[in-house]
Amino acid sequence: MQDLGTLGAASRGDAINDHGHVTGFAVVNGQSRAFRWRPDTGMTDIGRLGGIGAEGHGINLHDQIVGESTVAEGGGNLHTHAFLWDPQTGMRDLGTLGGTSSRAWGINDAGWVVGHSYLGQQRAARAGVRS
């Protein structure tokens, strides 16, 4: 076992790629922050979509990370949206299937994302995001 550290308090690794790079989340001031960990840079906060927290759930060989982040919507309501984070372009909101919430759980090396969205009930979803 190797301690990957934290960004403040606790941390959890959720996925690892073939380079040994890890994603997950760390707790900072009581809020979750998605991270990328690499041996040369350690743990780095990859941001959020404007809400109070984010979690990384999948990482591919291109170091693209997918997960979920809270977003502030009308009236100050917080909803969760799936995101894609890319080392060159940063974090991008993948939206929903029309409901208020979605989550991305994995991304393959071709850039296909899998997850789910809520439309009254949970629905499986996929997206092609590699350019």
Which residues does 130 contact at the CB level (< 8 Å), separation at least 6? Answer: 64, 110, 111, 112
Alpha-carbon distance 68 to 94, whole Å? 9
pLDDT at 126: 82
> pLDDT 10s digit of each residue in the chain, 131 long?
888 989 988 999 999 999 999 999 999 988 999 999 999 999 999 999 988 899 999 999 999 999 999 997 766 667 899 999 999 999 999 999 988 899 999 999 999 999 999 888 888 988 876 54
CA distances from 88 to 6, 46, 65, 93, 99 (A): 24, 12, 12, 15, 29
Sorted by where each begins, the domain ranges of the chain are 11-128
DSSP-derived 3-state class of residue 75: helix
Instruction: Work out the burial of residue 64: count CB atoms within 10 Å of its CB; fewer than 13 is exposed, 13-18 middle, 19 or more buried.
Output: buried
Superfamily the domain 11-128 falls into: Peptidase/esterase 'gauge' domain (2.130.10.150)
Reduced to 3 states (helix: H, G, I; strand: E, B; else coil), residue 94 is: strand
